[in-house]
Amino acid sequence: MSNIVVIGTQWGDEGKGKVIDFLTEQADIIVRFQGGNNAGHTVMVKDQTIILHLIPSGILHPEKKCIISNGVVIDPRELLNEIELLQSEGFILNNDSLFISEGAHLVMPYHKRIDVARENLKGGEKIGTTGRGIGPTYEDKIRRIGIRVIDLLEEDVFNEKLKANLKEKNFYLIHYLKEKEFKFEEIYEEYLDLAEKIKEYVVDTSVILNKEIENGKNILFEGAQGSFLDVDHGTYPFVTSSNTVAAGACTGAGIGPTKIDKVIGISKAYATRVGNGPFPTELVNELGESLRAKGNEYGATTGRPRRCGWFDAVMVKHAIRVNGINGLGITKLDVLSDFSKIMICTGYKYKGEVCSSIPSSLSKLERCRPIYEEMDGWGLDISKIREYNKLPDNARRYIERVEELVGAKVILVSVGSRRDETILLSNPFI
């Protein structure tokens, strides 16, 4: 039995969805513990592309249990759309395959309007949020005025909380954001209707999860976003509003830290970012465009083109530290196959001095220039290779240099988007 947390070591979109889908074969239970439908996991099953935003991709395996735990913020409309989409594609969901936490907070229509309106007000200082209302929902949770899934199932509690929230939110929307207000009835009726449709899945997920851990099941905790979008450890304020690092799995799922056996970090063989904020190795040139085209780097949730750049070992090393990563998965190595020279950032230069760690000051980080080490490419298609030793020498040299620089062992290499296009060096569940 093993309980494994899989998290991103960059700014999200590291290809966690594919790795999680691959590791799910060996898991009994898959748990989402933070974020909301700002995430988008693209998985390929046979030749079918499926994008999931809330429900763990483990749902594509009929015999697995999937949990959306208390740390997630749930837009019930989007959740129901996903349930219906999966059912129409032949994936049978029932209350023995999907469990939704009573304690998860709800994304309300006003959260989304506030999120978008605030970004519009910021002009050039935008965070570049996904506009899904994630930040405003977590704000209400921390302010202790949020509405949880359990509140929605108790009609009088929901009525009271919605009224209290709308009083304040409408004032803010009208007078500060210059936006339209919400009518109580339009939200109340819709949400009660949604509650009827999702209530069969709602339980205390911490109880279920801890029981399954006691029974010796294999649990996979599926991180969303990435370490540099973490509200504590990321490039604040250009972050999301949850703890995306591995420790978030404990608070977000209601388990103790002693229950986690391994933390697997996922990193692209290069780097990408959507939204604004510092990105030291960003390539604003033809090389960056070429990475975007070859890697199909467009956001799974918003369709926005991702900013692209070289692998930043300083960042990934930092992520290894704050997450306690035991093993690294490198994804999209195949995307680098056509590049004759590949760069790895080994440090930064700031005002003529070398820094080998990430400065906390955002303005300093924005001025840091990457110091690169150049490596030879391999110029061969590697997508059919399934054994590490069969990779071209230069591809292995690249992986081994990454290991050396970041201080973690690579346990998995992904060479294509399909589930089987994966080289497993060490099985984290053993």
Going by C-beta distance under 8 Å and a sequence separation of 6 or more, which residues neighbour residue 112? Answer: 75, 131, 132, 133, 136
Residue closest to ligand IMP (Cβ): 275
Residue 263 three-state SS: strand
240 binds ligand IMP (CB under 6 A): yes
DSSP-H helix ranges across 242-312 = 248-253, 286-295
7 binds ligand IMP (CB under 6 A): no
Q: Of 220 and 382, which CB lies nearer to ligand IMP in the complex structure?
A: 220
Query: Shortest approach of ligand IMP to residue 197 CB, angstroms?
Result: 25
101 binds ligand IMP (CB under 6 A): no
Residue 61 falls in the annotated catalytic set: no
Q: What are phi and psi of 144, to 5 degrees?
A: 70, 30
Query: Shortest approach of ligand IMP to residue 306 CB, angstroms?
Result: 8
Residue 111 falls in the annotated catalytic set: no
Check 41, 111, 233, 318 and give the catalytic one: 41
Q: Give CA–CA dist 270/330, Å, rounded.
A: 9
Tell me which residue of 147, 152, 163 sits closest to 196, measured CA to CA. 152
Q: Of 38 and 70, which CB lies nearer to ligand IMP in the complex structure?
A: 38
Site for ligand IMP in 253-282 (CB under 6 A): 274-275
Q: Give CA–CA dist 260/131, Å, rounded.
A: 33
108 binds ligand IMP (CB under 6 A): no
Q: What is the DSSP string of 136-164?
A: HHHHHHHHT---BHHHHHSHHHHHHHHHH
Single out the segment in contact with ligand IMP by CB under 6 A; choices: 5-13, 104-112, 152-160, 165-173: 5-13
Q: Give CA–CA dist 77/108, Å, rounded.
A: 10
Per the DSSP assignment, residues forming a β-bridge with 375 are 342
38 binds ligand IMP (CB under 6 A): yes
Tell me which residue of 133, 198, 128, 203 sits closest to 169, measured CA to CA. 133
Q: Of 206 and 302, which CB lies nearer to ligand IMP in the complex structure?
A: 302
| DSSP at 377 | -
Cα–chain center distance at 254: 19
**Contact at 8 Å (CB) between 274 and 306?**
yes
130 binds ligand IMP (CB under 6 A): yes
Query: Shortest approach of ligand IMP to residue 129 CB, angstroms?
Result: 4
Q: Of 130 and 346, which CB lies nearer to ligand IMP in the complex structure?
A: 130
Single out the segment in contact with ligand IMP by CB under 6 A; choices: 32-40, 260-268, 382-390, 396-404: 32-40
Element (H, E) at 315: helix 313-323
Q: Give CA–CA dist 347/286, Å, rounded.
A: 23
Cα 96–44–54 angle (5° rounding)? 45
Q: Count residues contacting ligand IMP (CB under 6 A)?
A: 21
244 binds ligand IMP (CB under 6 A): no
Check 13, 21, 140, 230 and give the catalytic one: 13
Query: Shortest approach of ligand IMP to residue 34 CB, angstroms?
Result: 10
Query: Shortest approach of ligand IMP to residue 226 CB, angstroms?
Result: 7
Single out the segment in contact with ligand IMP by CB under 6 A; choices: 97-105, 169-177, 224-232, 361-369: 224-232
Task: Count CB neighbours of 106 within 10 A.
Answer: 26
Residue from 5, 6, 106, 134 binding ligand IMP (CB under 6 A)? 134
Active site residues: 13, 41
Contacting positions for ligand IMP (CB under 6 A)? 11-13, 38-40, 127-130, 132, 134-135, 224-225, 229, 238, 240-241, 274-275
